[in-house]
């Protein structure tokens, strides 16, 4: 009997420990690990940012000193990530009774390409309320999936069914707003967890494409994700499609912001995410 092959996503975020804890001599429980980009999740330039973010989160998830589950993750794309090997340094900055703060750096050839800070914590039952509402759209099975060009490799790894704001065609012209809403899940199907949820928060193409009605050079500078769900709820989600909706608030001076929500198939708000994106026009 042979082991089942890794799902392409799990292969893309796989890490190998390089330096055991305590061997750096700096007094911090820094763990060094190595990974490698995979062609399956390449973007037009470099790897898909969502997989990079998921890999950084995964370096904390696998750390032996981790406390609880992810609460927030901020990733700053300081420079391009080249295809090939990389190293990640993961360090707990401070551990409190219910929260734990982390610093993460991804480097290639001695140069830092991406930095991240993460907050993990233990969740406890409290009063709760969700003020925003899930968009009303047809069910996923009622919308045909969109096929992406082969050169956008990472998009082939997701099943995307656009209810609103699909990628504009060549002659689309400018659009009055920047809202996109879609059902999305991993392809092939994969049970949802914190790592895949992190990547799904970055599946939205740049909002400037929709407003301008054309593709322009653009790239995420910083992305923050807030996790509103626990591991038990993610398990209940299984491999069902989630509903994502994204919009921008302001374009100008070479940057725009982008906010999004990701909803479970049962109507639960799983995550909210915010980005600052650089663009040329």
The tokens for 130 are 């969700």
Query: Can you give the pLDDT of all 281 residues of the chain as single tens digits?
Result: 456 789 999 999 999 998 665 454 455 689 999 999 999 999 988 899 999 999 999 999 999 999 999 999 999 999 999 999 999 999 999 999 999 999 999 999 999 999 999 999 999 999 999 999 999 999 999 999 999 888 899 999 999 999 999 999 887 889 999 999 999 999 999 999 999 999 999 999 999 999 999 999 999 999 999 999 999 999 999 999 999 999 999 999 999 999 999 999 999 999 999 999 999 98
Nearest CA to 177 among 208, 138, 144, 218? 208
pTM: 0.94
Q: CA dist 228 to 58, 207, 212, 260, Å? A: 18, 24, 32, 13
Backbone angles phi, psi at 120, to 5 degrees: -110, 160
The CATH number for 8-123+138-279, chosen from 2.20.25.10, 2.70.98.10, 2.40.160.210, 1.20.1730.10, is 2.40.160.210
Tell me the CB-side half-sphere exposure of residue 238, using CA atoms within 13 A.
4
Dist. CA 180–CA 246, nearest whole Å: 5
Nearest CA to 277 among 210, 187, 231? 210
Dist. CA 259–CA 234, nearest whole Å: 22
Q: Which residues lie below 8 Å from residue 244, measured CB to CB, with a gap of 6+?
A: 180, 181, 182, 183, 184, 200, 201, 203, 204, 260, 261, 262, 263
Q: CA dist 219 to 100, 146, 199, 257, Å? A: 30, 22, 15, 11
Backbone angles phi, psi at 57, to 5 degrees: -60, -40
State yes or no: cis peptide before 188, omega within 30 of 0.
yes
């Amino acid at each position: 009997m042979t082991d089942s092959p890794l799902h392409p996503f799990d292969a893309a975020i796989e890490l190998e420990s390089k330096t055991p804890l305590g061997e750096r001599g700096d007094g911090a429980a820094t763990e060094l690990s190595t990974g490698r980009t995979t062609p399956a999740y390449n973007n037009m330039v470099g790897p898909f940012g969502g997989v990079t973010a998921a890999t950084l989160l995964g370096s904390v998830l696998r750390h032996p000193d981790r406390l609880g589950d992810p609460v927030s993750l901020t990733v700053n794309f300081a420079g391009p990530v080249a295809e090939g090997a990389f190293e990640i340094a993961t360090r707990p900055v401070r551990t409190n009774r219910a929260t734990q703060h982390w610093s993460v750096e991804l480097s290639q050839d001695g140069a830092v390409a991406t930095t991240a800070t993460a907050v993990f914590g233990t969740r406890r039952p409290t009063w709760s309320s969700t003020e925003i509402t899930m968009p009303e759209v047809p069910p996923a099975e009622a919308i045909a999936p969109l096929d992406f060009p082969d050169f956008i490799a990472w998009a082939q790894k997701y099943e995307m069914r656009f209810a609103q704001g699909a990628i504009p065609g060549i002659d689309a012209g400018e659009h009055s707003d920047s809202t996109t809403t879609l059902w999305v899940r991993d392809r092939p199907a994969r049970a949802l967890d914190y790592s895949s949820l992190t990547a799904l928060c970055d599946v939205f193409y740049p909002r400037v494409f929709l407003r301008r009605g054309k593709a322009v050079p653009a790239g995420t500078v910083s992305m923050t994700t807030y996790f509103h769900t626990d591991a038990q709820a993610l398990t209940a989600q299984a491999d069902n499609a989630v509903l994502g909706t994204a919009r921008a608030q302001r374009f100008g001076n070479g940057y725009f912001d982008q906010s999004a929500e990701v909803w479970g198939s049962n109507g639960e708000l799983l995550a909210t995410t915010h980005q600052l994106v650089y663009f040329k026009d």
